[in-house]
Amino acid sequence: MTDLTIALENRPGALAEMGDALGRAGVSIEGGGAFVVSGHGVGHFLFVDGSAARRALVAAGIRVLEARDVLVQRLNQAEPGQLGRISRRMAEAGVNIEVLYSDHDHQLILVVDDIAKGREVSEAWIRESLNERRNR
């Protein structure tokens, strides 16, 4: 999975143009969001095929600022404090979470500054979660 950082004009229709370009190319968005920060639009969107998404956007004149691999986590929604716990683990490993959102399957998507260290933390979290479920 790939997160694309997309520059969007801060005007009506900019997001529609992005969605139309992706739709014409047959590229689905798996999650993400768009925001206005200091008057500038920026989107972070998740794609199975980031290269196809980038090509479709660039062909439509939409700037893709960055493409990055992501970490995907499923948190236990019934247990309060999950976000704090995994964020603390990342921080203790020296990993900065730069972007966070949910995908369409209710999974947590993390874009981090050190994907290798972040992946270690993420994989340990998954193993521990599986062990906790087995021990119940």
Domain borders along the chain are 2-69, 71-97+113-134
Q: Is the pLDDT of residue 134 over 80?
A: no
What is the arithmetic mean of pLDDT over 82-108? 95
What pLDDT was estimated at residue 77? 80
Q: What percent of the chain has pLDDT over 90?
A: 86
pTM for the whole structure: 0.90
Strand (E) or helix (H) holding 114: none
Burial state string for 65-93 with b = 16 or more CB within 10 A and e = fewer than 16 = eeebebbbbebeeeeeebeeebeebbeee
Of 128 and 50, the one with more pLDDT: 50
Per the prediction, the chain carries an average pLDDT of 94
What pLDDT was estimated at residue 131? 76
What pLDDT was estimated at residue 15? 96
| CATH class, 2-69 region | alpha beta
122-129, long-range: CB < 8 A, 24+ apart: 122/71, 122/72, 122/73, 124/89, 125/73, 125/86, 125/89, 126/73, 129/74, 129/76
Strands 40-47 and 31-37, bridge-based pairing: antiparallel
What is the arithmetic mean of pLDDT over 5-9? 97
Check if the beta carbon of residue 47 is closer than 8 Å to that of residue 53: yes
What pLDDT was estimated at residue 136? 64
Of 131 and 55, the one with more pLDDT: 55
Of 107 and 76, the one with more pLDDT: 107
What pLDDT was estimated at residue 132? 73
AA identity, residue 129: S
